[in-house]
């Protein structure tokens, strides 16, 4: 059998079509895809095309908790009598979905307020957040870096989420949302649990770049890891420069104010992603001494006196 079969399942806005991966020899499905009958039908057809039946699937590996990757995980596990496994930092968001969703909404609302996002925008975001059709609680195996499931190695790659993981099988990494061929993954707004998400993300990119030449992303088709890694590093260096330029010459600004300078008017999920991106870059710039924090609720930043140009490397 072939090492891996990619199955196009649904769409994940704004990244595009999701890629689930079937590993026939291992009885593994990685990132089964978003919830819904159409993605489910596509997934089942893909499993069949890979030469398996549902009963042949023993393990459902999920790179991170977002619904476009984890949404079908419990449905597949039930139908196949398989076990779900995720990195321990993300596993509770599926294993204890109802409780963790409530905590996430509260955590997100707090982060948005501290980032300076107006109350009307925050309220609209909360009201637009619809629950996924996941069970309130479900058994999920918690994985750590280096754990192996059916020959598939877990690689902790935090940043996009606190517990994002790639999975390596026969020298091929399945990257989730670490590197994508046509879109730069959000950092900061995609998981508000992280303190310095851009640092974590860039370290994860370096890790995969050091070990692999090509990889399979969670959206789109095979990526050249070296090329995509170089592209995202330059993307974040340039964004960091723009963030510094967006700060006022005198006074301070919140991440929301900076985000509006970068992205214009934002609403819905784009407001969360935009403010989160600005916050992540400001936090990283603070860590390397390019800006300083001068307020905490809301968070505000200002430029530091003297020449503190953004260097070529944001990675700690």
The pLDDT assigned to 308 comes to: 60
Question: Could you list the mean pLDDT of each consecutive 10-residue stretch along the chain, which spans 316 residues?
Answer: 86 77 98 96 98 98 98 98 99 99 96 97 92 97 99 99 98 97 94 96 98 97 97 96 94 97 93 98 95 94 77 68
Q: CB of 224 within 8 A of CB of 214?
A: yes
Closest CA to 16 of 32, 33, 29: 33
Encoded tokens for 147: 């754990």
Please state, as a whole number, how many other Cβ atoms lie within 10 Å of the Cβ of residue 51. 13
> Where are the domain boundaries for CATH 3.60.15.10 in the chain?
5-119+126-231
How much is the pLDDT for 250?
86
Q: Which CATH number fits domain 238-303: 1.10.10.10, 1.10.4160.10, 2.60.40.420, 2.40.50.100?
A: 1.10.10.10
- Per-residue pLDDT, 183: 86
pLDDT of residue 182: 84
Residue 175's pLDDT is: 98
CATH 1.10.10.10-classified regions of the chain = 238-303
Strand order across the 152-156 sheet: 148-149, 152-156, 165-169, 172-176, 214-217, 223-224
Q: Which CATH class is domain 5-119+126-231?
A: alpha beta
Q: How far apart are alpha carbons 288 and 301 in whole angstroms?
A: 14
Task: Report pLDDT for 157.
Answer: 99
What integer pLDDT is reported at residue 311 of this predicted model?
Answer: 62
Enter the pTM of the model.
0.95
Residue 279 falls in which region: left (phi positive, over 0), alpha (psi -120 to 50) or beta: alpha
């Amino acid at each position: 059998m072939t090492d891996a079969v990619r199955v196009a399942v649904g769409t994940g806005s704004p990244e595009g079509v999701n890629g689930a991966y079937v590993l026939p020899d291992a009885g593994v499905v990685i990132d089964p895809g978003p919830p819904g009958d159409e993605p489910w039908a596509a997934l089942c057809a893909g499993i069949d095309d890979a030469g398996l039946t549902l009963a042949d699937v023993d393990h459902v590996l999920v790179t991170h908790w977002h619904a476009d990757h984890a949404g079908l995980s419990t449905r597949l596990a039930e139908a196949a009598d398989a076990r779900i496994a995720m990195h321990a930092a993300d596993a509770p968001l599926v294993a204890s979905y109802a409780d963790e969703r409530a905590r996430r909404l509260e955590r997100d609302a707090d982060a948005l307020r501290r980032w300076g996002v107006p109350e009307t925008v925050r309220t609209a975001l909360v009201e637009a957040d619809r629950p996924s059709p996941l069970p309130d609680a479900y058994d999920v195996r918690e994985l750590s870096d280096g754990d192996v499931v059916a020959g598939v190695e877990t690689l902790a790659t935090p940043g996009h989420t606190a517990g994002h993981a790639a999975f390596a099988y026969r020298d091929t990494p399945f990257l989730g949302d670490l590197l994508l061929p046509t879109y730069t993954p959000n950092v900061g707004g995609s998981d508000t649990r992280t303190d310095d998400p851009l640092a974590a993300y860039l370290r994860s990119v370096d890790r995969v770049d050091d070990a692999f030449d090509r990889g399979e992303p969670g959206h789109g088709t095979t990526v050249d890891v070296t090329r995509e890694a170089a592209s995202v590093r330059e993307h974040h260096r340039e964004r960091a420069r723009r963030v510094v330029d967006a700060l006022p010459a005198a006074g301070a600004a919140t991440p929301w104010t900076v985000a509006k300078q970068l992205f214009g008017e934002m609403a819905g999920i784009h407001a969360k992603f935009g403010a989160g991106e600005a916050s992540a870059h400001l936090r990283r710039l603070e860590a390397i001494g390019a800006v300083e924090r001068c307020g905490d609720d809301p968070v505000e930043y200002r430029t530091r006196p003297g020449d503190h140009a953004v260097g070529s490397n944001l990675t700690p």
